């Protein structure tokens, strides 16, 4: 229970840090005096990631330190105290390597350096060291499916058919003059084959033309990439988020993909005007990916406590389970998008997916994620335009009080809104120009972090690379930190609850009231410790809710409130919980 005195002390510490009034060591002492050891510190140090809170930073948009309008590493370092107070255990950095920035860093031209726009290797080392002082781990993005076309490997590969690096990429003859090898398409629109007149062959690119796919059948490619991982782990990196990992391999026979048909039997057309194709088993999710995942796990195991997170958009739990490895020897944390991308407030769907993660992944740790730099933010996918704040509170409750490693995206904690460009000439993400106006690209979820209600939201003293959304006047860290009922403080309290209550951190998830169509309810349990129950009202109407505890061993309906929607009443018993629209109740059964 958060008593007023306690919350006000913590609140003042947080406020002082964000306002830059006290530095981290003072805060650390204050925290040390008050806080219990976190579950992460209790668990074996190598298992730090179980139950951890991971924060995705899109470096370009987080904090600019030199006035060029682009976020950078020194900017991130200057905000570590904020992340510490928020309760973050690890940061996943979207790519910061040298890159022509066609795909804003996902087109890497040198895997062992830092793009000058973001800083230097020395800045990176300082970031790692400063993060370590605060017990925050750095996880890098590792893009293995493709490089930039400006990478020296590709430049060599493209130089002639007999170049030793020719086979590092996927080169094929066309079917006939002017006809690509098959019908495969780029995820960013149109053919996945680019003709190279110099050598009269096509190269394959799953993403932009400037992102040629590496040939993962070539052992030299594998070795080069594994050595890159070692390079960063030696610098203190705690693991990798493996970009587009299911797409490493393609069908060895280069067979055409099947066209998806609509109800009338006509080909379905996507936002780019292309026919929709079934990529599964042809350019996506080939079994050989598991061989690479196993090899990578071996590489990672050379450095204790390092982890592999996967960008794994799967459509079923069997694929998710498989990516942990049959012997749990592949990814530590394949992302479970099946919960986060339901994109509809449907309690039955949430219940099903969360329960699958609890019961069908061989007891492994699920990684739930609701948001990232590739999808419209929460407001656009779950909001109703009226109760967005309440809905964001509810989604974060699902994220932080389920048994999972919780991953969230910068700005979610303050409720940043998706702000897509309104004119094609303003679009920065090339996909938004190819798909305009049906697909506006990903600029809308990549706008600068909103720190203050002041100029450029405190992001930069220059001209921001993407416009600051008009919401920054009220949706910003400085304003929210001084409002106890803000979303930011809700996030902070949820994370604190998770750190201080082992049942919330690691207890098993038991779904309750399993046929309720309006309220999602569940219990967290560890034998011998008080059960925690959670209820989320998935509707815009108030609900009077009675927890059904028949599936548990509980005999009492008395509970102590741990958290609840601001302004709502404490229930007299778990039989009569009044949930406001999209309201939340978290209680500890007595």
What part of residues 286-345 is at the interface with ligand GLC (CB under 6 A)?
A: 311
- Rg, the chain, Cα only: 24
Q: Is 243 a catalytic residue?
A: yes
For residue 241, the cross-strand partners are 141, 309
Say if CB 164 and CB 156 are below 8 A apart.
Answer: yes
- Binding ligand GLC by CB under 6 A: which of 54, 86, 117, 244? 244
Specify the residue, 143 or 391, whose C-beta has the smaller distance to ligand GLC. 143
Buried b (16+ CB within 10 A) or exposed e, 544-561: ebbbebeeeebeebebeb
The residue whose two tokens read 């739930």 is 368
Note whether 284 binds ligand GLC by CB under 6 A: no
For 485, phi then psi, to 5°, come to: -90, 15
Nearer to ligand GLC, 51 or 246 (CB): 246
- Of residues 250 and 311, the one with the C-beta less far from ligand GLC: 311
207 binds ligand GLC (CB under 6 A): yes
Distance from C-alpha of 448 to C-alpha of 467, rounded to nearest angstrom: 8
Residue numbers 83-112 binding ligand GLC by CB under 6 A? 103, 106
For ligand GLC (CB under 6 A), the number of binding residues is: 9
Residue 354, Cβ density class (10 Å: 0-12 exposed, 13-18 middle, ≥19 buried): buried
Please give the Cα distance from 193 to 171 (Å, whole number): 9
Backbone angles phi, psi at 234, to 5 degrees: -60, -30
Three-state DSSP class for 268?
Answer: coil
- Shortest distance in whole angstroms from residue 145 CB to ligand GLC: 7
* 370 near ligand GLC, rule: CB under 6 A: no
Binding track, positions 162-201, relative to ligand GLC; x by CB under 6 A: ----------------------------------------
Residue nearest to ligand GLC (CB): 106
Closer CB to ligand GLC, residue 28 or residue 380? 380
Does the annotation mark 302 as catalytic? yes
Determine contact, residues 427/441, Cβ cutoff 8 Å: yes
Calculate the alpha carbon distances from 243 to 144, 209, 240, 416 in Å. 7, 17, 9, 24
| CA 536/CA 173 separation, integer angstroms | 56
Smallest separation, CB 243 to ligand GLC (Å): 5
Closest distance between ligand GLC and the C-beta of residue 239, in Å? 16
Using CB atoms within 10 A of its CB, is residue 343 exposed (0-12), middle (13-18) or buried (19+)?
A: middle
What's the closest the beta carbon of residue 373 comes to ligand GLC, in angstroms? 6
Our finding on whether 374 is near ligand GLC (CB under 6 A) is yes
Give me the catalytic one of 173, 196, 302, 570. Answer: 302
Asked if 243 touches ligand GLC (CB under 6 A), the answer is yes
Closer of 18 and 244 to ligand GLC (Cβ) = 244
Catalytic residue among 243, 284, 311, 392: 243
Closer residue to ligand GLC in complex, CB, 283/486: 283
So which residues are the catalytic ones? Answer: 243, 302
Contacting residues toward ligand GLC, per CB under 6 A = 103, 106, 143, 207, 243-244, 311, 373-374
């Amino acid at each position: 229970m958060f008593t007023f005195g306690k919350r006000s002390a913590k609140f003042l510490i947080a406020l002082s840090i964000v306002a830059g009034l006290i530095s981290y060591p003072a805060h650390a002492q204050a925290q040390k005096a008050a806080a219990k050891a976190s579950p992460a510190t209790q668990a074996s140090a190598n298992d730090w990631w179980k139950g951890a809170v991971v924060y995705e930073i899109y470096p370009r948009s987080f904090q600019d330190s030199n006035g060029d309008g682009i976020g950078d590493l020194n900017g991130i370092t200057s905000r570590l105290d904020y992340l510490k107070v928020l309760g973050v255990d690890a940061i996943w950095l979207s790519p910061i390597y040298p890159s022509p920035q066609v795909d804003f860093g996902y087109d890497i031209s040198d895997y062992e350096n830092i793009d000058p726009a973001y800083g230097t290797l020395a800045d990176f080392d300082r970031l790692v060291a400063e993060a370590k002082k605060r017990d925050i781990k750095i996880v890098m993005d590792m893009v293995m499916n493709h490089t930039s076309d400006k990478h020296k490997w590709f430049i060599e590969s493209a130089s002639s058919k007999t170049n030793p690096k020719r086979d590092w990429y996927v080169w094929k003859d066309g079917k006939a003059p002017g006809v690509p090898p098959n019908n495969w398409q780029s995820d960013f629109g149109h053919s996945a084959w680019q003709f190279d007149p110099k050598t009269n062959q096509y190269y394959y690119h799953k993403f932009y033309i400037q992102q040629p796919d590496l040939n993962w059948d070539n052992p030299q490619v594998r070795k080069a990439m594994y050595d890159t991982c070692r390079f960063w782990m030696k610098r203190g990196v705690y693991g990798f988020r493996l970009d587009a990992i299911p797409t490493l391999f393609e069908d060895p026979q280069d067979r055409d993909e099947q066209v998806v048909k609509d109800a009338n039997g006509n080909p379905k057309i996507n936002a780019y005007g292309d026919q929709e194709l079934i990529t599964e088993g042809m350019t996506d999710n080939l079994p050989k990916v598991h061989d690479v995942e196993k090899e990578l796990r071996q590489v990672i195991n050379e450095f204790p406590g390092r982890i592999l997170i996967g960008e794994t958009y799967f459509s079923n739990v069997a694929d998710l389970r498989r990516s942990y490895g049959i012997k749990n020897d592949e990814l530590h944390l394949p992302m479970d998008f099946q919960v986060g991308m339901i994109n509809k407030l449907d309690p039955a769907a949430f219940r099903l997916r969360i329960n699958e993660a609890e019961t069908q992944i061989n007891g492994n740790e699920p990684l739930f994620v609701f948001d990232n730099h590739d999808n419209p933010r929460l407001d656009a996918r779950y909001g109703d335009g009226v109760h967005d704040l309440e809905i964001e509170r509810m989604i974060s409750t699902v994220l932080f009080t389920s048994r999972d490693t919780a991953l969230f995206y910068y700005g979610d904690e303050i409720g940043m809104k998706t702000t897509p460009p309104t004119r094609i000439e303003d679009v920065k993400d090339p996909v938004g120009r190819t798909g305009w106006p049906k697909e506006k690209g990903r600029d809308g979820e990549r706008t600068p972090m909103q720190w203050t209600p002041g100029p450029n939201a405190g992001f930069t003293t220059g001209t921001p690379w993407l416009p600051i959304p008009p919401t920054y006047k009220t949706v910003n860290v400085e304003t929210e930190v001084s409002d106890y009922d803000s979303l930011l403080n809700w996030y902070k309290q949820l994370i604190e609850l998770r750190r201080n209550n082992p049942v919330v951190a690691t207890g098993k998830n038991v779904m309750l009231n399993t046929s309720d169509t309006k309220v999602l309810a569940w219990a967290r349990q560890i034998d011998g410790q008080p059960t925690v129950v959670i209820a989320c009202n998935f509707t815009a109407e108030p609900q009077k809710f009675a927890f059904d505890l028949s599936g548990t061993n509980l005999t009492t309906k008395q509970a102590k409130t741990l958290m609840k929607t601001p302004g709502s009443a404490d229930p007299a018993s778990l039989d009569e919980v009044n949930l406001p629209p999209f309201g939340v109740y978290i209680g500890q059964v007595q």
